[in-house]
Structure 1
Amino acid sequence: MLNKPISRRALLGGAAAGAAGLLFSGCTTERADGKIEVEIVSYKQEAVSIFEQLMEDFNASHDDIYLNIQSPADAVTVMKTRFVRENYPDVIGIGGDGDYANFTDSNILADVSDCPTIEDVQDAYIDILDSVTYVPMEGIYGVPFVANAAGMLYNKDMFAEHGWTIPETWDELIALFKQIQSEEPDVYPIYLGYLDTWTILSPWNSITANMVPSDLNYQVNLGNAKFADYYREPAERMLELLDYAEPGPFAYAYNDACTAFARGQSAMYPCGSFAVPQILSVNPDMNIGMFPMPSAENADDRVVISGVDLQWCVAETCEHKDAVYEVINFLSQAENVQTYIDDQRAIPCLEGTFELDPLFDDVAPWIEEGRVLDYLDHSYPSAMGCDAQLQTMLLNKDVDAFLTKWDNDWQRYNRSVIRKVQAAAQE
């Protein structure tokens, strides 16, 4: 393997002291009834009811394996605490993000290339996991299960009523904004809700991923590029959005934006599928669609931002991978995947004939063809406060200062990763 091990204790990071006592049963063990117990710790607390149903179905149909799925509050902190204590769950259910990269880089996760289910996973999501890790990895360290997507959410009924068409280029998007302002002066073209800084990352990811090389972070870490050479135009487009949004978007939070969009105060909302349950809690009858952010230079080059929202990662210490693989195979059966995506409005990472939520009708061709890229912020160091830097840039309208600070802070907060990337490249 190209990656170098680091101390597992370093993974604890900001783990709360109170999480230290939240320990479960440990790696695959044999129960008193002779069954092998497989423990999954998942970070998807909102899917507890689905997991309970799947766990019940699995245990009713298997007499040699007992499945135990836990979804604790602050699950990632619990995982890190358990790793420090070397009390590993058999399987962890996490997204394809920075935590996954840290766990992989620390040699905690097993190579699951031999898991039969891998053959059914869309190549695009295997590639996305590869792109998240800090250095090129030999092997596969997670079995992608479901994904989410981000782009531009829009009010389908409002679009149909006015005859508005989905834009395919940035110029067409701006023209649509102006058309809405002209035809519906009481409706904002978009709502932003930038008080919560993390919400700024949704449009940033969608705009920027269509405009910069997909391996830009890696090239910067190698020392071959600077963000300032690529991030200026995306930053300027982020500023341009302010002209067509609610006045003073920095005074309104995520919930405010979801509520305003649900009530028809805006025609569009640049966010992800994860926001739809919140929107529908305000207006259950709303007809919501999503289209790719039209920021690519050529319309045919547009991509949909889609990240691995949940994957099954196996602990390196797991002694009964055959039992774990039987569990993963069960969870990946078409009817069980369909149950999950129906409940969570998710996108399956597995090949097959699935019925997607109507939300994804307009991005389905991109998803089916694998024209997807991961969320850029999955590879941003959390200590750098990238969302706050974007907010400052938008408030001050100073792109030059933003670009300078971004490059300087990247070198400061990403030092250890940069060393690993460059060392791996030399090897």
Structure 2
Amino acid sequence: MLSKPISRRSLLGLTAAGAASLMFAGCTNERSDGKVEVEIVSYKQEAVSIFEQIMADFNATHDDIYLNIQSPADAVTVMKTRFVRENYPDVIGIGGDADYASFVDSEILADVSDYPGMDSVSPAYIDILKSVTYVPMEGIYGVPYVANAAGMLYNKQMFADKGWAIPETWDELIALCDEIVAEGQVAPFYLGYADTWTILSPWNSIAVNMVPSDLARQVNAGEATFAEYYGAPARRMRQMLKYSQTTIGDPGPFSIQYNDACTRFGNGMSAMYPCGSFAVPQILRSGTDIEVGMFPMPSAENPEDRIVVSGVDLQWCVAETCKHKDAVYEVLDFLSSPDYLQTYITDQRAISCIEGDFELDPLFDDIKPWLEEGRVLDYLDHSYQSAMAVDAQLQTMLQDNDGTEDEIIDRFLKKFDSDWQRYNRNVIRQVQEYDRQHGIES
């Protein structure tokens, strides 16, 4: 029994979740054959085939542990429902996002600081996980496995053929866009903003270079507002619209869905695509032989200060109720062994959170110095409550033509700050109480 079960109010805002939870029986830990069963529930459905092979290889080589990896549809909903029913898997595989922060806050997850393999994890990704929680936490509550990255995807062959240099400042990016528009053959950017979530990718990459890295914490502590910092990134988001596919007569960004934007960029209809590494498999489905690269979004005032947005895409979190961490740690060692980890990052075009001599996809060649030096920060939206619907707020701001530019931006900023206060009331109280207890003055 947990000392602080996760609240039904926070997790049971779900529909049909009870039925989903029936997919799993409670883990009895010891099987009839005497083996200890380690159950992992992962949200990475796209990696099912890899995990099935890892599970088969592990079980074929271990006499005392049975590994059971499940990757259900709508896995996070399944996890939350199981937590409410106090039917905990041994390990959950999730990203380093707001759901993870809620699980840590609810004391569902065990401190894994004692896991020996933690010494091999890149400190940058441990720091990213720590930054996601609402208040500073003693201990480490997830073992980072792989990461992804976001910035500016670009057509490497097109850049080479045209002799275009990778822009390092915003002015250089806009100058390149003007040159591309003048040629009239392709669009600078292809944008698929009909799917609102895609708007978060350029927003994250632009804003992370322009605002304090702990802005969300500052706002929660009452030390700052988003209005003080988010105006400039919002203006740049609107500026990018001028260089979308409309420059070559194609439908505007709000008429194009994500899959179509990926396909049309893959077909060479634009030079660049502000998105993340997760989009590359869809881009390659265009059937062309496009070579996709990625460079850091050039939105920092000083090119030397450019940051790559990179978040923990998959981590292993151990349930506080787990009674056999030694067996779990043996499984994590197996998952993190060089051969299996290389197989995963090759298949999923992922970035290893484990330090070592891993071969990354050529996609990451241009940002490799940032990855190797740990010049990365988490996705800003990992601190946004889903109820705020920030993606929809951004879409509304980008489509707004009522009034001057300043009036449009001002409306967006006021709503953002107002909604933040509304949807983060509990978090704000928690942060401010923590500050009071630790003598931190705002």
Q: How far 1:414 moved relative to its partner?
A: 0.6
**CA distance, structure 2, for counterparts of residue 273 and residue 38 of structure 1:** 31
Instruction: Please tell me whether the aligned partners of residues 5 and 84 of structure 2 are also in contact (alpha carbons under 8 angstroms).
Output: no
**CA distance, structure 1, for counterparts of residue 36 and residue 139 of structure 2:** 26
Q: How far 1:11 moved relative to its partner?
A: 3.8
Q: State the partner residue of 1:22.
A: 22
Deviations 1:213-259 (A, max 9, x none): 00000000000000000011100100110110023211111011101
5+ unaligned residues in a row in structure 2: which ranges?
247-251, 402-407, 438-442
Q: Secondary structure at the match of 1:319?
A: coil
Q: State the partner residue of 1:334.
A: 338
**CA distance, structure 2, for counterparts of residue 344 and residue 371 of structure 1:** 22
**CA distance, structure 1, for counterparts of residue 30 and residue 161 of structure 2:** 61
Deviations 1:117-151 (A, max 9, x none): 11110000000001111111110000000000000
Amino acid at match of 1:390: L
1:411 aligns with 2:421: yes
1:250 aligns with 2:254: yes
Instruction: Please tell me whether the aligned partners of residues 27 and 318 of structure 1 are also in contact (alpha carbons under 8 angstroms).
Output: no
**CA distance, structure 2, for counterparts of residue 289 and residue 103 of structure 1:** 35
Deviations 1:303-344 (A, max 9, x none): 100000000000000000000000001101111110000100
Q: State the partner residue of 1:224.
A: 223
1:170 aligns with 2:174: no
Amino acid at match of 1:59: N
Q: State the partner residue of 1:133.
A: 133
Amino acid at match of 2:89: P
Deviations 1:352-389 (A, max 9, x none): 00000000000011001100000000000110111111
Deviations 1:156-193 (A, max 9, x none): 0100110011000000000110111122x030000111
What CA RMSD, in Å, does the superposition of the two structures yield over aligned residues?
A: 1.2
Instruction: Please tell me whether the aligned partners of residues 28 and 90 of structure 1 are also in contact (alpha carbons under 8 angstroms).
Output: no
Q: How does 1:26-41 map to 2 (within 5 A)?
A: 26-27=26-27, 29-41=29-41
Q: State the partner residue of 1:420.
A: 430
Amino acid at match of 1:32: S
**CA distance, structure 2, for counterparts of residue 293 and residue 283 of structure 1:** 27
Q: How does 1:15-414 map to 2 (within 5 A)?
A: 15-20=14-19, 21-27=21-27, 29-183=29-183, 185-247=184-246, 248-397=252-401, 398-414=408-424
**CA distance, structure 1, for counterparts of residue 240 and residue 342 of structure 2:** 36
Q: Secondary structure at the match of 2:188?
A: strand
Q: Percent identity between the aligned chains?
A: 72
Amino acid at match of 1:123: P
TM-score (norm 2): 0.94
Q: How far 1:24 moved relative to its partner?
A: 1.9
**CA distance, structure 2, for counterparts of residue 159 and residue 223 of structure 1:** 45
Q: Secondary structure at the match of 2:285?
A: helix
Q: State the partner residue of 2:9.
A: 10
5+ unaligned residues in a row in structure 1: which ranges?
none
Instruction: Please tell me whether the aligned partners of residues 8 and 83 of structure 1 are also in contact (alpha carbons under 8 angstroms).
Output: no
Instruction: Please tell me whether the aligned partners of residues 19 and 77 of structure 1 are also in contact (alpha carbons under 8 angstroms).
Output: no
Instruction: Please tell me whether the aligned partners of residues 28 and 318 of structure 1 are also in contact (alpha carbons under 8 angstroms).
Output: no
**CA distance, structure 1, for counterparts of residue 207 and residue 54 of structure 2:** 38
Q: How far 1:28 moved relative to its partner?
A: 5.9
Q: Secondary structure at the match of 1:350?
A: coil
Amino acid at match of 1:160: A
Instruction: Please tell me whether the aligned partners of residues 148 and 350 of structure 2 are also in contact (alpha carbons under 8 angstroms).
Output: yes
Q: How far 1:12 moved relative to its partner?
A: 2.3
Any runs of at least 4 consecutive aligned residues in structure 1 with deviations exceeding 6 A, and if so which?
A: none
Q: Secondary structure at the match of 2:242?
A: helix
**CA distance, structure 1, for counterparts of residue 354 and residue 6 of structure 2:** 34
Deviations 1:33-87 (A, max 9, x none): 1110000000000000000011111111111101000000000010011001000
Amino acid at match of 2:37: E
Q: How far 1:25 moved relative to its partner?
A: 3.7
Instruction: Please tell me whether the aligned partners of residues 6 and 83 of structure 2 are also in contact (alpha carbons under 8 angstroms).
Output: no
Amino acid at match of 1:175: A
**CA distance, structure 1, for counterparts of residue 309 and residue 225 of structure 2:** 22
Deviations 1:78-116 (A, max 9, x none): 001100100000000000001101111100000000011
Q: How many correspondences in the alignment?
A: 423
| Higher mean displacement: 18-27 or 364-373 | 18-27
Q: How far 1:6 moved relative to its partner?
A: 6.7
